[in-house]
Amino acid sequence: MKKGNKFGTHRVIEPKGLLPQPAERIDNTMEIYDNEILIDVQTLNIDSASFTQIKGQANNDVEKIKEIMLGIVAKRGKHHNPVTGSGGMLIGTIKEIGPAMEGKTDLKVGDKIATLVSLSLTPLKIDEIIEVRKDIDQVDIKGQAILFESGIYAKLPSDIPENLALSVLDVAGAPAQTRKLVKKGDTVLVVGGAGKSGMLCLYEARKQAGPDANIICLAHNEASMKRAKDMGFANSFILADATNSVDVYEKVMEVTNGEMVDVTINCVNIPDTEMSCILATKADGVIYFFSMATSFTAAALGAEGVGMDTTMIIGNGYARDHANISLEIIRESEIIRKVYTDLYA
């Protein structure tokens, strides 16, 4: 059996010298190296920004969505959207574990896991797309994938249904980062607060900031606004287009009495929302861009252009213990579990 690199560089076809994630093409043959884990894949949870782009390109046609996805994997050896640069994650069952992984993993053949590394770096082979659940970004397939030695994962819990756990784990980085960033008494804005990651962030923001803090939910339509109000974690609500920075600025001014916010969490899946977050946040505040639709250039130059010395954090989907943090929210909050089950499972 061939020896592999910890980070999977042995799988890179082009350009040589890169890691698997930024590489244009990787080897997706399913014969494992000595330090790899082979997974029989059940479901792909496509990154929200990526799936939104694919659905738009396909005019929401399911067969066209399948064609685009199969084309991406055939060309790149992984589900790495060439437009958004993002991937997603998967759930599946362990089929084979390389001998060099002995003592390095607690997995065994037959375990069901969710990978917590992006599909944009995961060698993937799709034999058949069985079902596309386009409203929740999930695609059931027959196929296989490779987990590298450095890859992180979560064993699926027995007390939470699989599709529900997958939906939660897909956005686990957002509430975990919110827990790290929000302090007691902070005023917090969650852009896209009624969405999949946003509602978890609202919950965590309230938990960390305390009952008297001003937690603001920005939603883009009346239905999502009502959902956020019914959950009860925010106390201020803004109905706005997050790409309209001046409108967002004026509405945040109104609900904060001109003081603006200490922490902004951006959870939307569309581009051009950077300036709304920058203008809404205090000059010494913090912005966490969880969305993969964020442009670093737009954020950096936008903040410079309006003279804001704001700390801006790139949306690293990984935070220490993020899987447990997000699953605990589902266990703690009956209303979030119900909403997530209705919408995503």
pLDDT of residue 167: 87
Using CA of residue 66, residue 161, residue 166, residue 34, what is the dihedral sign?
negative
pLDDT of residue 194: 92
Residues 6+ apart with CB under 8 A from 56: none
CB 49 within 8 A of CB 269: yes
> What pLDDT digit, counting tens, does each position of 96-131 carry?
999 999 999 999 999 999 999 999 999 999 999 999
Map residue 260 onto helix, strand or coil.
coil
Given the DSSP bridges, would you call strands 215-219 and 188-191 parallel, antiparallel or unpaired? parallel
Look up the pTM and report it.
Answer: 0.84
Under the banding of pLDDT at 50, 70 and 90, the label for residue 316 is confident
Sketch the domain layout of the chain as residue ranges: 9-156, 173-344
Facing residues of 97 across strands?
37
N-term to C-term CA, the chain: 40
> What pLDDT digit, counting tens, does each position of 136-146 carry?
899 999 999 99
d(CA 199, CA 293) in angstroms, rounded, equals 19
Residue 205 Cα distances to 193, 208, 286, 320, 345, angstroms: 11, 5, 13, 17, 24
> What pLDDT digit, counting tens, does each position of 249-307 carry?
999 999 999 999 999 999 998 899 999 999 999 999 999 999 878 899 999 999 999 99
Domain 173-344 belongs in CATH node 3.40.50.2300: no
